[in-house]
Structure 1
């Protein structure tokens, strides 16, 4: 039963770590409180998605050496501490930018990969499904956070900065406690796989196309999620809150569903389908976003497709390079978040200047279509089983067929 206890703790951790997905709940109150513009209000969100993946590159190397428990607990302390620091934003908004954007981002960078890498080792035959379950909380937890934050600000009357302090205290305690339960299966804790040389990894075509496709999918999710309440300008306050919650819940459901699909289908085709579905939705956002119900539908569909991004690429990396190297490989692959983190700011600035998100959403949709095309031509996941134990073949496996 230990592996199910670890899986439960992993979901609990991720429910807290995904709180930044609820950022759009805070945008309007912050603008009203401080007088900042839409683009400026997205700085904590975008900095978070720079610090988070940049830290994961380091964590992927450290994790096999210091163990999952230390990584997870350290991440929890930093993440909760960053939100507490953000509460000082009433003195200057820079505290919020640094607290949630940098400190909390570093914290998630330490903690996020732990449940994925640990649970894949405990459930080696269900990589896609268990990855989806392990990170479902990262998306679904934002639904709880959005309602909790709305209650604290609207019903209780707290400022967004006071809400940051309350939530940060809860996050610090829960993530550190759940992280203390993380451990590898018996006999595997001493394994420290030889890392793949970074230059060789970056030169590999499969890595390059996965990186491009993941970047496009992340950019779409970030641009939509961070600006959700403004996508349909006539939406009421409660409709905006419901849309944020709907995106978060669909995100969680999408992670589990796409993970289940991955275990049962052809990997490259599944990744392509995910990108093309999201691209079509962005291209058609105009006819959809004409009512409160249209906003909710758009949030559900975009959240569901986006949820697949955070499962499919981790599962593909484990299939291509082996579960024991998932921390290192996914750390580099996840760095696609860094350029994608600019999407909310670009979308916000476009809205401030043109009053519309259409040019940005259409541009991202086109990029996703290009990513799907690249996957069809360059992704190779069909290397033999020996790839997991032979470093040279893991880099130079002969790609004679497309999976």
Structure 2
């Protein structure tokens, strides 16, 4: 029997993976439901916001644990489970609004949908780095770009739907869409056949190490901890800004809530565009150089951001920072695959994604605590600049292993 060298079906896998990521990325649009829920039930803002915090933590945790199942049980099974959990969790959130049960929102949106989201996030990434060794940065960039665009799409659609069918009806509608569409695309998300011979990577694109390492082997390598910290630092800095971008724009620049919302929307688009830009760039200049640029160029921006009074300049800086935030997500899967090999990347990269879950809690809490203590966001932004500088030094210390055996 000859070796299978066909690449015909891999773009179908990629398109289905991108569709899955767009739908899962709507989790970042939670803020559009926050005010309606507060007004309907009289719930306090921090209590409603806790649902999002639980969801982000569960996404990171389930992605860390789910990567192993992608490698062992198969991508299609994990993607199918993700579709069921994310759809049911969203439907339960609609029920929670109907009966006025905040605890059920924590379980439905935070726990169930969060776990489903994390399982779904790691699956297309782990699959596509195997299907596209010749375009690893580009295809993972396209994939996670979809995740970045999901929030922007929901942010425009949900406010138009909520006045017509209410918050609960909107969750029921989206939950049904998630369940049906995700179940369909999940059936196409599979690893390459065992006899498949991948196309060679281009001379410019970094190749993975010749021998793949397992999780225990990766944990013995200092490169694992550098990659973990690079992701943690970039996400902490970026999500600290994202979680408070609207109030910052209103307080610092004097914008109305609607005008601040426009900056949030535009910067969300750059969050998505930055993912494809930096990921494809990493195929040409290398993952290490890409992260040096992502981290290093943000340092002065976080330092000067609190001093900006121009609306245009403030928006430009925020758009660039969010492009770097998204770029870190998009480049890291290829960085990890180049370092540890593709065979067990689902399990290994899942553990790297724990940095996302922890940073998703640390970043917003840092901003909230310092804002409450100093009545200003400036100190938190200076701390973020310091963290990014440390990340730049860590990236300098990275050396690609000659072999992962």
- Please give the range of the TM-score, normalised by the shorter of the 2 chains: 0.7 to 0.9
Post-superposition Cα deviations, 1:98-151, rounded to whole Å, max 9, x if no partner, equal: 222211111012111221122222211111111101221000121111101222
Q: Which moved more, 1:90-99 or 1:103-112?
A: 90-99
Residue in structure 2 matched with residue 94 of structure 1 by the alignment? 103
2:113 counterpart (90, 96, 104): 104
1:259 counterpart (268, 279, 297): 279
Residue in structure 1 matched with residue 161 of structure 2 by the alignment? 152
Task: Indicate the SS of the match to 1:356.
Answer: coil
> Cα 1:297–1:42, aligned 2, differ >3 Å: closer, same or farther?
farther
1:270 counterpart (271, 281, 290): 290
Post-superposition Cα deviations, 1:3-35, rounded to whole Å, max 9, x if no partner, equal: 111111111110001112223333344444444
1:287 counterpart (307, 310, 313): 307
After superposition, the CA RMSD in angstroms is 2.4
Between the aligned partners of 2:168 and 2:241, the Cα distance in structure 1 is 24
Q: Does 1:135 align with 2:140?
A: no
> Cα 1:365–1:86, aligned 2, differ >3 Å: closer, same or farther?
farther
Q: Does 1:211 align with 2:231?
A: no
Between the aligned partners of 2:309 and 2:243, the Cα distance in structure 1 is 16
* Runs of 4+ residues deviating >6 angstroms: none
Residue in structure 2 matched with residue 249 of structure 1 by the alignment? 269
Between the aligned partners of 1:356 and 1:157, the Cα distance in structure 2 is 38
1:321 counterpart (340, 352, 355): 340
Task: State the shift of 1:363 in Å.
Answer: 1.5
Native 8 Å contact 2:145 2:330 kept in 1: no
Q: Does 1:125 align with 2:134?
A: yes
Q: Which moved more, 1:266-275 or 1:34-43?
A: 34-43
Task: Indicate the SS of the match to 2:284.
Answer: coil
Between the aligned partners of 1:108 and 1:195, the Cα distance in structure 2 is 27
- Structure 1: where are the runs of 5+ without partners? 388-392, 394-403
Between the aligned partners of 1:160 and 1:226, the Cα distance in structure 2 is 22
Native 8 Å contact 1:87 1:162 kept in 2: yes
Q: Does 1:196 align with 2:214?
A: yes
> Cα 1:170–1:239, aligned 2, differ >3 Å: closer, same or farther?
farther
Between the aligned partners of 1:144 and 1:161, the Cα distance in structure 2 is 19
Residue in structure 2 matched with residue 398 of structure 1 by the alignment? none
Q: Which moved more, 1:90-99 or 1:248-257?
A: 90-99
Task: Indicate the SS of the match to 2:285.
Answer: coil
> Cα 1:195–1:362, aligned 2, differ >3 Å: closer, same or farther?
same
Post-superposition Cα deviations, 1:202-240, rounded to whole Å, max 9, x if no partner, equal: 342111111111101111222222333222124334323
Residue in structure 1 matched with residue 77 of structure 2 by the alignment? 70
> Cα 1:195–1:43, aligned 2, differ >3 Å: closer, same or farther?
farther
Q: Does 1:40 align with 2:47?
A: yes
Native 8 Å contact 1:38 1:348 kept in 2: no
Task: State the shift of 1:296 in Å.
Answer: 3.5
Q: Which moved more, 1:86-95 or 1:104-113?
A: 86-95
